[in-house]
Chains A and B, each alone.
Chain A
Amino acid sequence: MSKWQPTQTAALTGAYRDKLALVKDGAHVSQSEDVLLREFTVCGKDAALLYIDGMADDVRLQRFVLHPLQAAPACPKGTALSDHLKDTVLPIGSITESSQLSALLTRVFSGDAALLCDGVDGAFILDVKGFVKRGVQQPVNESVIVGPQEGFTESLRDNVTLLRRIMRTPALISEQSSVGNRIPTRLCILYLDGVARADVVEEVRRRVGGCNVDYVSGAGMLEQLIEDSPMAMMPQVVSTERPDRAASFLLEGQVLLALENANEILAVPISLLHLFHAPDGMAMRWQYASFQRLVRMAGMLTALFMPAFFVSLTMYHSPGISLPLLTSVIEGQARVPLSLFSSTLVMLGVFNLINEAGTRVPGLMGGSLGVVSALLLGQAAVDADLVSPLLIIVVALAGLGSFAAPSYPLSIALRIEQFALVLAAGAGGYFGTLLLTFWLLLRVCGLTSLRAPYVAPLLPLRTANPDRVLRWPIWRQRLRGYIGNPNEGARTQGRMRAWDKHDKG
């Protein structure tokens, strides 16, 4: 048997020495210097404590495990040693018993300690986690002006706690699970009991359980393993760094997946509209939030279609352009050696290059680099007659529009589709653009997210609150999303502004 997957299926039964040897071999105690096995005696019996240096909290180990064990009174007659240790000796909140080596090793390598004792079947797992982790900070990718400023961290426990602090109800269920065959990563399935549909929760469990992979490094990887159509361009799972947004997903009846080592929580199922909604939408008055949504959508449409329409109009349909605009295009293009199609592709490529470089350059330099590169390169390209000034405007507007997408994966999808549409426009003008757009629309309309239609509640029409394209007033949002349990479809009975006699809901 390889060292990668040793005797982990073995059961921790039999003599103490055999169990100890099994654990030593399984945890590679002799090879890993940070895997520590402390042997001592408890109530006159041999015992050993297995833990990882740095993952377990030294102070808790010392004060609540080692010291009480070594100073333990003798086991009273007629009382099993295991009961004596659990009930009298160990002042630890969470103690579980394990008889499987694999389960024991998973917990120990997650920061817990394992106590083996002569005369006790199996082992005790003691919760003494105390590894280094980042504190709660502002979310980086979902910053808002109005609303809470807390973000998730890489600690699963902290993330669940952040959610619990918002949703103080026993209806919030957090099911522990793990994903990954060889190096399991802890995972938590969160949902509001009764609000989320039972079949959706079951489907999430089935998909998570069906991930046949050695290790899951983060939420992005898990997303790709559980989504309905992995070949589709559009994201089918929405991720958030914000506890308040995650809570709103729960209230809509969605199921959340929180993963250890991921500072994002995944929500399923989703609709396309979730990707257009910004986290601060609910914190603002409906007029402002609706206006911002319209601006964002206009930006995204600009990003998607503007370069393609520009190429189509100038290359194929110049009779359709009004004379002043046509003159401006021809004048701008007259001194440029590259064709308009090639210039557009090059400029879009350069824009994406600047964006990617700006993302990878550390800290504040990234933003500065983007601005400087765009200014210098754009000006230099126009001065050198490599591109027309009009094209710079088109590409800049399209780029700006793609940044208006509140979801980063959606923004990338838009930029890829933007390239495809420019290629189609170069091949067939409006005709090429139309064919590709129609095909993309057909694809999107056929997509599902965890079997729920992707463009619902618009296509197909579904009963849901009116928080769709526009964000209608809060007091009109008496229904949850169409995704949740229909029996709990209404958020409230009667009018939300019950004090207002003139409000007819």
Chain B
Amino acid sequence: MIKDNVNKIIREKTQTTSETTDMASLRRQRFLVSRMERDTLLSIEVFAQLFIGFTLYALPRASTAVWWSVLLTLPVIALMGALAFSVIKKRGCGMPRPLLVLPILLLLLDMQFCQLALCEMVGGAWLPRAGRLSIAVWVSVFLLLSLLACSPHSVSRLSRFLRVALLLSLAFCFFTSLSYGDAGHLFPVMGAGADKALLCALWLCGGVWCVILPAYMPQTQDSLEILKSRRRLPGLAAAALCAFIAISVCFAQPAYALARPRTWSDRMLLFIALNDSTLSWSLMTLGLSLLLLSSLTGALFQAGALIESLCGKPWPVYIAPLLLLPAGVMGDRGALAVMEIIAPYRALAAAILLGATLLWQRGQKA
């Protein structure tokens, strides 16, 4: 019985026994696939923001107790997802267009965060002699070229492949570091104090705001129907759980975590510090940079789609170099300090956005 069920799952997964033999169901299947891709991209973004928040803010403050701080973001993700779902269900009433400014701004903040993290990571792991700003210039050139030469759906398509690559690199490094680990590092549960752990959880919640994005992204009538029809939150909770496992289990293990490394890049590379083989080092640094880069590019194209739906004009390409502005004006440390203050309020802004949208929709219905 079990064997038959497993066989059935495998066949369905490889689509060798698909019943899809007409255009209508084929179209529906394609929408589902496209939704799956966008959800994967969102999961990567959530993962990246949790990683950034974890290494930048939570680890130096809550030490190893941070694993349950990450755990606390799960109910927030579920709540935001549920509210976003109710917004989607009422999208037939329309959407208050001026409110779209808010997710665009939040996406710009996310992009800024990702860019700073990527520069820090690259500077720390790969190019220690290069200035952070010059790395940021390279990233901006990449974004500019992507905007000019790549199609908007490329990132979401690619995210399906990246998901596998990221998970494989994480799994590889996790298993090669198992011998260094000690489950005892998960204790004491209170770490540097329950108040600090709770504060960290609150801060981390700012990074998961993007679960509400499907409610605001432009949709066709068909894709909206498919969005409405889903009964459970798409993979995001699983992704967050995955983030939780990866971060808490992997990062709580190294003894270095207790020593509170000095710089952000040191903290981002904590896990790699244990494993000195060329392959693991290369895989892990490439994997983490890929995570940040894909999250940055994904946010860029999502913001582009929102701007297009707001103004009816395509995403202006000069926005990519504009991302350099904060670091250019305030220096990367200054920009980071400002971002650190703003970051937790992203969740609040998302909650306000959801509330305002729901109220507006209720008014329209009445």
Contacts and interface: CB of A to CB of B under 8 A. Distances in A.
Contacts of A355: none
Given A438-B297, A466-B14, A313 B282 contact: yes
B289 A431 contact: yes
A317 B281 CA distance: 10
B229 interface: no
B150 interface: yes
Residue picked from A445, A462, A476, most chain B C-beta under 10 Å: A445
Interface stretch (A148-156, A158-166, A406-414, A484-492): A484-492
Contacts of A504: 4, 7
A125 to B, nearest CB: 42
A434 B126 CA distance: 11
B7 A463 contact: no
A504 B289 CA distance: 44
A479 B18 contact: yes
Contacts of A438: 142, 290, 293-294, 297
Residue picked from B21, B23, B126, most chain A C-beta under 10 Å: B126
Interface in B213-256: none
B16 interface: yes
A468 to B, nearest CB: 9
Interface residues of A, number: 45
Interface string A416-433: 000000000000111110
A439 B281 CA distance: 23
Contact of A430 (B22, B126, B154): B126
Given A434-B289, A438-B142, A461-B33, A443 B294 contact: no
A320 B135 contact: no
Given A438-B142, A438-B294, A464 B154 contact: no
A442 B150 contact: yes
B227 to A, nearest CB: 17
B21 A486 contact: yes
B127 A461 contact: no
Interface in B37-76: 37
Contacts of B297: 438, 442
Nearest to B119: A431
Nearest to B30: A460
A181 B100 CA distance: 52
Interface residues of B, number: 50
A463 B32 CA distance: 12
A381 interface: no
Contacts of B274: none
B62 to A, nearest CB: 30
Contacts of B160: 458-461
Interface string B141-156: 0100110011101110
A317 B15 CA distance: 43
A460 B34 CA distance: 7
Given A320-B281, A461-B33, A486 B23 contact: yes
A199 to B, nearest CB: 10
Given A446-B151, A446-B154, A459-B160, A505 B286 contact: no
Interface in B253-286: 276-278, 281-282, 285-286
Contacts of B364: none
Contact of A431 (B16, B30, B126, B294): B126
A478 B20 CA distance: 13
A322 interface: yes
B121 to A, nearest CB: 9
A355 B5 CA distance: 53
A316 interface: yes
B127 A429 contact: yes
Nearest to A486: B26
A259 to B, nearest CB: 30
A430 B293 CA distance: 13
A322 B146 contact: no
Interface in B281-320: 281-282, 285-286, 289-290, 293-294, 297
A466 B17 CA distance: 10
B26 A429 contact: no
B333 to A, nearest CB: 21
Contacts of A435: 138-139, 142, 293
Contact of A489 (B7, B11, B21, B277): B21
Residue picked from A325, A438, A464, A476, most chain B C-beta under 10 Å: A438
A381 B203 CA distance: 59
Nearest to B294: A438
Contacts of A380: none
A462 B26 CA distance: 9
20 contacts: A320-B282, A322-B276, A430-B286, A434-B286, A435-B138, A435-B293, A438-B293, A438-B294, A441-B161, A442-B154, A445-B154, A445-B155, A446-B150, A459-B160, A460-B34, A461-B15, A461-B36, A463-B20, A479-B16, A479-B18
Given A428-B126, A489-B20, 19 more contacts: A320-B282, A429-B127, A430-B126, A430-B289, A431-B122, A431-B126, A432-B138, A434-B289, A439-B149, A445-B154, A446-B153, A462-B33, A463-B20, A466-B15, A479-B16, A479-B18, A486-B23, A486-B26, A504-B7
Interface of B: 4, 7, 11, 14-18, 20-23, 26, 29-30, 33-34, 36-37, 122, 126-127, 135, 138-139, 142, 145-146, 149-151, 153-155, 157-158, 160-161, 276-278, 281-282, 285-286, 289-290, 293-294, 297
Q: What are the 4 A-B residue pairs with the smallest beta carbon separation, nearest first? A: A446-B151, A446-B154, A445-B154, A442-B150
Interface of A: 309, 313, 316-317, 320-322, 325, 428-432, 434-435, 438-439, 441-443, 445-446, 453, 455, 458-466, 472, 476-479, 486-490, 504-505
